[in-house]
Amino acid sequence: MYDGAVVKIYTRTGDGGETSLFSGGRVAKDHVRIEAYGTLDELSSVLGLLSSEPLPAGAGDRLHRVQESLLALGAVLADPEGRVRPDQAAWDPASLERWVDEMDAELPSLQAFILPGGCRAAAVTHVARTVCRRAERRVRTVVETCGGVPEGVLPYLNRLSDLLFVLARFLNARLGIEESTWRGRRARPESDRA
């Protein structure tokens, strides 16, 4: 996709509130397509922040692959004419499901709603999860209003948000940090329950 040409950082062409799509044409910077791939970029940035935290072995490499997948998805969304043809294996949810299953096998069963928090890495993971859910909503809007979104993108984002939820729990569990739960009116750590 990238031909190695030097990319100028500022072009001044977006000063009027429009931007160019990969396949040509200009749209408003708040167009649903731009909102969608902008949210994927935001998610990738939060995953970059998460990657700077202490993580279990292999997690950083896996998150890097997710970031690459998000970039591929953004390229597809920026190309309504379908000229960009990344490998759809880049957003195969099966790899995410395997990682979820690996982590989930080490966790206690979920008995209540979990409040985001715990260690810093888990808290950042929860932020990534919520951005991922927003990305999923934005991509759904593109599917409904514009089309041109390859099959498998929405399941991938849905599974990714599930993975991020489990990863946050996993990070806290690895450090022995109890999750705060919500049970109606009051949140309390597991150890405070009678």
Is CATH 1.20.1200.10 what the domain over 18-192 is classified as, yes or no?
yes
Which pLDDT does position 98 carry in this prediction? 96
134 or 87: which carries more pLDDT confidence?
134
Band (3; pLDDT cuts 50, 70, 90): low
d(CA 140, CA 135): 8
pLDDT in tens, 22-79: 566 655 555 788 899 899 999 999 999 999 999 999 999 999 999 999 999 988 888 8
Residue type at 159?
R
- Report residue 50 as tokens: 């998460």
Answer for the pair 187, 180: CB distance below 8 angstroms, yes or no. yes
Give tens-digit pLDDT for 139-181: 999 999 988 788 889 999 999 999 999 999 999 999 999 888 8
pLDDT at 150: 84
The pLDDT value recorded for residue 6 is 75
The residue assigned the tokens 């953004």 is 74
Residues 71 and 48: their CA atoms lie apart, in Å, by 13
Q: What is the pLDDT of residues 97-118, one digit of tens each?
A: 999 999 999 999 988 888 999 9
- Segment 78-97 shows an average pLDDT of 82
Q: Domain residue spans in the chain?
A: 18-192
